[in-house]
Each structure stands twice: as structure tokens, then as C-alpha cells.
Structure 1
Amino acid sequence: MQAAPLPDDEALRLERLRGLAVLDTAPEPFFDGIVRVASLVTGSPIALVSLIDHDRQWFKAQVGLEGVTETPRDISFCAHAIHGNTLFEVRDTHEDQRFADNPLVDADPHIRFYAGMPIAIDGGSGMGTLCVIDRVPRELTDTQREILTTLAGLVGMALEQRATAVERNAALAREITLERDLRRTAQEWEMHRRRAVASLEASERRFRQLFHYSLGLICTHDLDGVLLSVNPAAAQSLGYPINSLMGRSLADFMRPEMLPAFHAYLRRIIDEGSDSGRLELRAANGELRIWAYHNVLDEDDQERYVLGHAQDITEQHRQERQLREWSLSDPLTHCFNRRYLGQLGEMARDETLGCITVDLDHFKAVNDTYGHQRGDDVLVDMAKFLRARVRDEDAVVRLGGDEFLVVLRSADDRQLAEVSDRLRSEAEAAPIGFTLGAAMKLAGTPLDAALSSADQRLYEARACRGIR
């Protein structure tokens, strides 16, 4: 086993890592979501956000290693990966002399495949990696490598934003605490009144400057949600002038279905004194903006109000949604994939579905005669043919190879027959011949049983046509 050498900038790297103030912190939903997406997209049972400390690698987020939060650095795969700025991939650890006798290979978790993308901050060596691990030899596809690289970039950006937010919140809390203490001590210690007043004025001046120039979104509102003050960054996020926001309720910028959640937020902050979460607000141009907030209840001369601090994470939210879509779709045809089918089976257990299995006739001959590029074109065109003949709420799933599935939501026998007949009657518009098998999934029955029935009818139809 070969332990990874230390990077040339190790001292600076460790200083930057400590500056992120993330080691030994509690799990956070964003990083947990990133490793779940990495696991799903790559089909790997283990995925980690691993940070390389002085003598250990510590996991900010992980799936597949329940109960494990760190391992020694000298046996770490990620300690090798942080030396570069590209994806570090080990297809078979048994064939790589650096890792063949590594304890993590010989014993649990029995690593056979590893791929880690360095998490870089301000250049230099990586703070750690976003990595995926499997117990069998394999390699990633180009699309999976691209997605893993994108995810690692999001982790790096999130770590920097997190560190900035922690420091900003700490500075804001210090200013608020100082202001509150000065007000109390000014009354108790008259002999220091002038000094206390001067300090209070300086503190308020600094607070106003922080309020005005902060890139964070800062506002105050009363216990009914009516805005009392708004800083320029918050007004810019929503696209309104500051004076048009003052005196309006935050509820004015929310969709009606979000109002119950907003009223629940107001009750929590009154009862508990603080609250964190996400708010969805409609900007002046009609777009929905997503704010990640941490708000606290404060009192000023017995008047209670809420001091809010937030970050606009709209773009991050869009990227998270895109990643979720990637994990449920086939990259070639943009149909849904088997992972979506598994989720549908759980969600629609009490729903009646129409299931039509579609098998392309003589598809192998197309690949053998014209090449795989032509075969890919046929698959893409077939997906378009199927989607054009079903409703928007229905789903077209690529099961794999030359097999498709059409799922008709809330359908009955008549609708299933109509769609099956339509596909057969318009078969000349398809890029290739095909055979169908149809079956109903009744409410309360498993989806797999209906798929088996549809497959059986497809096989019978192919046999009648003399197709093997």
C-alpha cells in the first residue's frame, strides 16, 4: 500500500480548510442531497463529501457508510485525489499497486472502484473530494463524470458561501449583542455614560453600514410579517425599490398555497425565538426567488420585531432540481428511466394505470448494418413517436436497449385499447417496426405484476408474427 504524499502547499491547504469552519459540524440538507444525487446518478452504493484533515479524512456527508464519520488519512483514497484538479478514477483496486493491499480494500467496505473529484477553494490543492465508491470493478460514463465534476464544483461553492454566511452571522450577532449590552450598561453606569453613548453610536453606525453594504439579504418585520426595513441587496433580489417594499407584508409576495407555511413560520419564531428554512417569494418580474433564511426575534424598547438574514439560493435551487431530473431520465432519449419507474410503483400503488410494453423489431440488425449512431437515432425518434401519441400526464420510459414502456395515468380498459390501437394504426410513422403488449394495473396491485402481463402478451404477439 502506498500512502499519498503531502501536497506542496499542505500548510496553506490546512489553513484554508480550518478557515471554512466546517470540520466536525452537524449534517446539512444541501450536502446530504449532493451525495444522494451522486450515488443515484452514478449507480454507486457509497458516496461521500470527504475533507482531508491533518491525520484523518472526515465526512461532511455520506451515504452507504452509516455510522462512519472519518477514517485515517494514510489509508485514504481521497488523499491521492486532492493532488490534481481533475477526476481521479480507480477502475479496479486489485489491479492498482497503490491500493491492492489497502485495509479499505481487503476489509469493509471492500472498495473495488473509486472515483473522486477534488473540491478546490481559491486554487491550490483540494480541501477534499466528492467521491463515489463501489464494491465491484467498473468505470463511469462521460456523462456521469461530467455530472460528478459539476456536483463537486457546487460543493466547493457551497462551502465558501457557508463560511461567508457563518462569519457574517457572527459579525451581525456581535453587533446586536454589543448594542444591547451598551443600552443596558448606559442606564446602570452613569459614570461611563458618555463613553457608552459614543460606543453605541459607533456600533449603530457600523450596523447601518453592514446593513446597507452587506451582500446578504437583511430585513426586519413585525410579528405579522409586515416589513419594517429592507437592505439594498434584499430589494435587488426581488427587483423592487426599497420604498415600495416598506410597510408591505411578505405574504404579498407569496403564492396563495404558500401562506399556511408562512403563518406557521410566524408562530414558530414567536414561540421559539428563532427559525431557519426557505422562503419562496415572487419578484417584480414574476420570477420565483428562493431565500434560505435564519431569523431571530429581538426587542427594542419593549417592541418585539424579527431580524432576518438570508441568502438568495434561486440558482442553486434550479441546479438541484436539474440534478434530480437527470437522475430520473435516460440521457439519450430523455425518456424516464427505471429509477423513475421504481418511484412510480410506490407513488401510484393505489392508482389504476395502463401499461403498454414496446419492443423494437429487428433493432439489432440496424446496429449491425448501419452502426450504433444510426441505432441511437432510431431510439431517439422512437421516443418522440411515442410521446407524441400520449397525454402530457402520461409517461414514456426507456426500460433499456430497444425496450420502451408507456404508462397511462388514471386510465381504464377503453383508454388502454385506444392508445394501443393508435400506436398500431400509425406504425408507419415510426422509425422502425415494433410489437406491443398491453395490460392494466388495478388500484392496490403492484406495478410489476402488470408489467409481467404486458410482457407476456408482447412475447405472444411476437411469436404469432414469427419474430424472435
Structure 2
Amino acid sequence: MKSRPAPLPENEAERLKALEDYNILDTLPEQGFDDLTALATYICKTPIALISLIDSDRLWIKSKVGLKVREIPRDWAFCSHTILQPQKILVVNNAVKDERFANNPLVKNNPKIRFYAGVPLVTSNGFAVGTLCIIDMIPRQLNDRQLDALYRLSRQAVAQMELIQEIHNRKQAEIEGRQLSLTDELTGLHNRRGFFLLAEQQLKIAHRMKLLCWVIFIDLDGLKQINDSLGHDVGDALIIDAGQLLKQSFRKSDIVARLGGDEFILFISSYFKDAENIQTHLQTNIAHFNQQQNRSYQISMSMGIQRYSPETNMSLEQLVARSDELMYAHKRLKRQSLL
């Protein structure tokens, strides 16, 4: 007779999602969990204690005393039966005499389990994601105090998991908050703060490595007229398209940012020959966009391009100010050509 694998819980999909949300599978050992398994062996006087989590096809062990393996097939796991009744402890006094486990490989072969007691690890949402269990190689029984202690230890294990999840979520929120604080809401590009933070780092590298780079100040031509005649939704669409065009025109490692309104700024590395080469590259991409897109507007940009070389040792603020001046000079030149 083969061993009888436990059926899946009715809420298996939701249970697995709850387990995934803890981000605990395949993590390193932690003292907080190891203390609980050590206490379980002391209190119940068993050679083996585990804190285990039931994944889709395996039992993965977060903490262990008296066992070397880190995981076993789910079909072999006594704990797969334990999670079927989240509010109850499963006690198997003698596995050889229990038809569910008598032919289990862990009973017939090493470690030749005879006694098992497991308490489900139940989350605050009611999902049994794993167990705290104790194991012995001889039949035995637990007294009421030992059973009560296992319940208490299981609650502490869940509390430890909840704490780790809270710390992880808080760190993730901080990361996302920092990203939001560096990101322009409309375009998804870096904002002014993001640009200066990242470009300052790149400028230090350029100075140390004696690299050439460029700061490009961009102003969208005619945005006010589009807002006045076609509405701000169309103006926003123009800004978004312009931002995407700029981002696609350069390498992923280059910094593309929106300063606000109709102004963009870029910090790019030295793969362009000169400022004229950069301007030609951008104007070609703008012309291609205007030809391909069926829009009620066309993109036009005035640009100022300032070269940085280690010999000049200009600060980022100086590079931005100079590229801004060059942009306005370009805009005046374009206006004069229309007269």
C-alpha cells in the first residue's frame, strides 16, 4: 500500500498567495525562528523540531533542530495533513499504526518517524501556510502543558513572520516613495530632484575617469499655444510624447528628466562627436516622429547643448546654466528665421 498524500485545502490558491506575500521561502536561517524550534525540543523532549512552510509541491524548512534536509516533497509531509485543519493540532502517536502514514517513505526509511505533533501556522487572514512540529523516532504522547506550549510557540512563529513581512513592506514602501520623489508624475521620467541627484553622481565619475559628457537643455516650442487652442489634455499628450522621444533617442544609462512645464534636461555620455552631431540626431528623430504620428500637433524643440570636459571642471549648476543660455539663443535664432 502506498502512502496517502493529503488532499489540497479548499482555499489552496489563496493560501499559496498568502505564503508568497511573506517573501520567506528560501531565505537564510534566522535566530528568531531557531530559538522557537530549540524551545520546542526542550519542552517536548524530542530530537527533532521544525518550522516548515507548505509550498505548491514541497515542504520547505525555515528552521530545524535534528534534521539536515531543507525540503521534502509535499506528498511525503505529515504537515500537509496538519494544515487541513487550521485550528487543530495534529498528533500522531505511532505512525506505523496510522493508515495515512504507515507506508510513508519517512516512516519506512530514515528518519523512521514514529511520533509527530504539528500545529498549523495560521496567518491573521486565517490561512495555514505551514507548521511548527516536533518529531521522534519512538511512539510517545504529549501532556496538556506540552500541547499548550506548542500552540504558544506556533503563535510566536507567525508573529515573527508578520514582523519580517512588515519590515519588508516598510522598506519597499520607502523605496517606492524615494522613486516617486525622484519621478515626474506626468511623463514617468526623472524630475528636477532626480536629475540633479543622479547627474551629480555621473559628473563625479566623469571627472574621476576623465570622460567627456554633455548637458542638453530642451524647451518645447509652442506648448502655450497648443494649451490655449487645443486644451491642456493635448498639451499633456505633447509633453508625454516629447519625453518618450527624448528617452528613446539616447542610451538607457543616460539621464533624461523633465524640469517642469515645457522644459527637459539630459545628461549623456560622450559617444557623440560634438554638439552639432547631437542636435542633428535629435532633429532627425523629431522629424521622423512628426511624419509617422497622426496627431493634432507636431513636436518642435529648442535646445542648448553644453559639453563637459575634465579640464574645464565645470559644476553641474554651471553646465545647466550654460545649456539654458544656449537653448534660449537657439530659440531666438529660430524666431528670427521666421521673420
With the length of structure 2 as denominator, give the TM-score of the two structures. Answer: 0.54
Q: Distance in 2 between matches of 1:157 and 1:34?
A: 12
Q: Distance in 2 between matches of 1:45 and 1:61?
A: 14
Question: Structure 2: which 5+ runs fail to align?
Answer: 183-189, 200-214, 219-257, 264-339
The 3 A distance-change label for structure 1 pair 189 and 143 is farther
1:303-336 deviation per Cα after TM superposition (whole angstroms, max 9, x unaligned): xxxxxxxxxxxxxxxxxxxxxxxxxxxxxxxxxx
Q: Distance in 1 between matches of 2:261 and 2:44?
A: 62
**Deviation (angstroms), 1:7:** 0.7
Q: Distance in 1 between matches of 2:45 and 2:102?
A: 23
Q: Distance in 2 between matches of 1:58 and 1:52?
A: 6
**In structure 2, the residue corresponding to 1:193 is in which secondary structure?**
strand
Q: Which amino acid aligns with 2:178?
A: I
The 3 A distance-change label for structure 1 pair 189 and 77 is farther
Matched-pair contact (CA < 8 Å) for 2:76–2:105: yes
Match 1:157 to one of 147, 159, 166: 159
Q: Which amino acid aligns with 2:169?
A: E
**Larger relative contact order (CA 8 Å, sep ≥ 6):** 2
Root-mean-square deviation over aligned CA pairs: 2.1
**Deviation (angstroms), 1:114:** 0.1
**Deviation (angstroms), 1:130:** 0.2
Show the 5 A alignment for 1:134-283.
134-176=136-178, 179=181, 182=191, 183-186=193-196, 190-191=217-218, 192-194=258-260
**In structure 1, the residue corresponding to 2:46 is in which secondary structure?**
coil
1:152-181 deviation per Cα after TM superposition (whole angstroms, max 9, x unaligned): 011112212211210111111333355467
Q: Which amino acid aligns with 1:147?
A: A
Q: Distance in 1 between matches of 2:142 and 2:165?
A: 32
Q: Which amino acid aligns with 2:143?
A: T
User: 2:19 is matched with which residue?
Assistant: 17
Q: Distance in 2 between matches of 1:9 and 1:125?
A: 8
Q: Distance in 2 between matches of 1:41 and 1:94?
A: 24
The 3 A distance-change label for structure 1 pair 196 and 17 is farther
User: 1:70 is matched with which residue?
Assistant: 71
Q: Which amino acid aligns with 1:87?
A: I
With the length of structure 1 as denominator, give the TM-score of the two structures. Answer: 0.40
User: 1:269 is matched with which residue?
Assistant: none
Match 2:8 to one of 6, 11, 14: 6
User: 1:112 is matched with which residue?
Assistant: 114
User: 2:80 is matched with which residue?
Assistant: 79
Matched-pair contact (CA < 8 Å) for 2:51–2:130: yes
The 3 A distance-change label for structure 1 pair 41 and 185 is same
- Counting matched residue pairs gives 196
Show the 5 A alignment for 1:57-456.
57-66=59-68, 68-84=69-85, 85-176=87-178, 179=181, 182=191, 183-186=193-196, 190-191=217-218, 192-194=258-260
User: 1:436 is matched with which residue?
Assistant: none
Matched-pair contact (CA < 8 Å) for 1:87–1:117: yes
Q: Which amino acid aligns with 1:185?
A: F
The 3 A distance-change label for structure 1 pair 194 and 117 is same
The 3 A distance-change label for structure 1 pair 190 and 10 is same
**In structure 2, the residue corresponding to 1:62 is in which secondary structure?**
strand
Q: Distance in 1 between matches of 2:140 and 2:40?
A: 16
User: 1:26 is matched with which residue?
Assistant: 28
1:354-393 deviation per Cα after TM superposition (whole angstroms, max 9, x unaligned): xxxxxxxxxxxxxxxxxxxxxxxxxxxxxxxxxxxxxxxx
User: 1:39 is matched with which residue?
Assistant: 41
User: 2:297 is matched with which residue?
Assistant: none
**In structure 1, the residue corresponding to 2:260 is in which secondary structure?**
helix
Q: Which amino acid aligns with 2:43?
A: V
The 3 A distance-change label for structure 1 pair 196 and 51 is farther
Q: Distance in 1 between matches of 2:216 and 2:29?
A: 44
Q: Which amino acid aligns with 2:260?
A: R
The 3 A distance-change label for structure 1 pair 78 and 184 is same
Q: Which amino acid aligns with 2:60?
A: W
**Deviation (angstroms), 1:125:** 4.2
1:244-303 deviation per Cα after TM superposition (whole angstroms, max 9, x unaligned): xxxxxxxxxxxxxxxxxxxxxxxxxxxxxxxxxxxxxxxxxxxxxxxxxxxxxxxxxxxx
The 3 A distance-change label for structure 1 pair 177 and 124 is closer
Structure (1 or 2) with the larger CA radius of gyration: 2
After superposing on structure 2, the runs of 4+ consecutive aligned residues of structure 1 that deviate more than 6 Å are: none
Matched-pair contact (CA < 8 Å) for 2:18–2:127: no
**In structure 1, the residue corresponding to 2:259 is in which secondary structure?**
helix
